[in-house]
Structure 1
């Protein structure tokens, strides 16, 4: 079996077929039609297994059976098979998520809610930052020393929130960040006058209103890891501690 065929079999397995079902279905498309012996000759599926596999594929609506001697099988068209598998996937997806939704709704108010969450990878941190910023109704403070952490989607969100009347403050020492923030109406930017020499680990800080916060660090391999919390006592207390310290004042190191 070629690499491409092996990958196709793996893909069919992810769509819900067994390995044998995928191999028989592919073999029949290669043959056009055939008996169990023909299928067994071009696959590693034992001839004795082809019959039950073909019956399963027939039940799935993926092949047709000719009642001859010997019995012959013909696959449905690719278009019909694709539609059948898509409809099956949609049904299974709805069944799975409907159940999860029902379980979620059954949860009692006494359930313990996690206050602190961890998110890894720059793309996922980007998404979380945008989500937090989008929830702001009063104020936003965002700081970073790295231009690549101020993405286009984050800039657009800052602009949208500022236009909606939210107070937006950016903190950075980086000239590129200054230029980009300066071009956004309604967004202020400040420069911390002190710099912590050798700081190569800080990523970004985001504070939203009085109860949303995200803090990230840059890992040794250049990836980003963040902790965040929103609407929690933990977030409120941490924000108060940061605002009471010098972390958002000159010398903070959020450059």
Structure 2
């Protein structure tokens, strides 16, 4: 198979088809109409497996069967196939998350306070976590970044939206270019003093008086690791420390 065909098979598998079903469907799109022998000739599927895969595709509504001798198979249009696969994916997604919601709602705390500290790896995932936390803020957001490549467009929009919603938003960065990103926005922008700068620090976030995130960068641009905590004793203490540091840095 070509690289593109392999990628297409992988994508169809992620949408719920088996490997053989995906290959048969692609083969039939190439043929238009064909028998099991025709499919076997243009694909890498054992002929004995073509029949079962084609029947499964027919049950899914993706293939039409002509009961002749030999049987002929014809794929539905790509538009119809896309619609059917989207509907199936949505049904599976709904079923899975309905169950997960039920499990979560039936969870009963054991009465002990938990000190939950979570880790996130990878610059993109760290950015997603920061953006999610910013959008959950109610009163105050303090965000720090070492460089502009750590401030995505969507993250900047989340910070600006929070400020426009009346939330107290403070940006702290030693990088003048980072500070310049927010010059025209309705939020406070500050540079930390020299003695409080750290070359390994990447991003920092404080949300209200309950949540905190700190990250460091590795040698490569996407090697970022962070830990965060929300509504825990650990987060409360660290928020107090960071808030004191921030108030000192902007005087």
Same fold at TM > 0.5: yes
Say if 1:187 and 1:120 are closer, same or farther in 2 by CA, change over 3 A: same
Alpha-carbon separation, structure 2, partners of 1:155 and 1:45: 50
Unaligned runs of 5+ in 2: none
Say if 1:68 and 1:139 are closer, same or farther in 2 by CA, change over 3 A: closer
Alpha-carbon separation, structure 2, partners of 1:202 and 1:15: 40
Alpha-carbon separation, structure 2, partners of 1:160 and 1:26: 45
**How do 1:231-250 residues align onto structure 2 when only pairs under 5 Å count?**
231-243=231-243, 249-250=248-249
Q: Deviations over 1:184-219 (max 9, x none)?
A: 3352525415365xx421113222222221111111
Say if 1:200 and 1:37 are closer, same or farther in 2 by CA, change over 3 A: same
What TM-score comes out, normalization by structure 1 length? 0.82
**How do 1:195-206 residues align onto structure 2 when only pairs under 5 Å count?**
199-206=198-205
Moved over 6 A (4+): none
Alpha-carbon separation, structure 1, partners of 2:121 and 2:20: 37
Query: CA contact under 8 A between 1:172 and 1:192: conserved in structure 2?
Result: no
Alpha-carbon separation, structure 2, partners of 1:182 and 1:142: 15
- Give the drift of 1:236: 0.6
Unaligned runs of 5+ in 1: none
Aligned residues: 248
Say if 1:247 and 1:19 are closer, same or farther in 2 by CA, change over 3 A: same
Structure whose CA Rg is larger: 1
Query: CA contact under 8 A between 1:62 and 1:81: conserved in structure 2?
Result: yes
What TM-score comes out, normalization by structure 2 length? 0.83
CA RMSD of aligned residues (A): 2.8
**How do 1:87-166 residues align onto structure 2 when only pairs under 5 Å count?**
87-110=87-110, 113=114, 115-166=116-167
In structure 2, the residue matched to 1:30 is 30
**How do 1:39-118 residues align onto structure 2 when only pairs under 5 Å count?**
39-110=39-110, 113=114, 115-118=116-119
2:244 corresponds to 1:207: no
Query: CA contact under 8 A between 1:200 and 1:218: conserved in structure 2?
Result: no
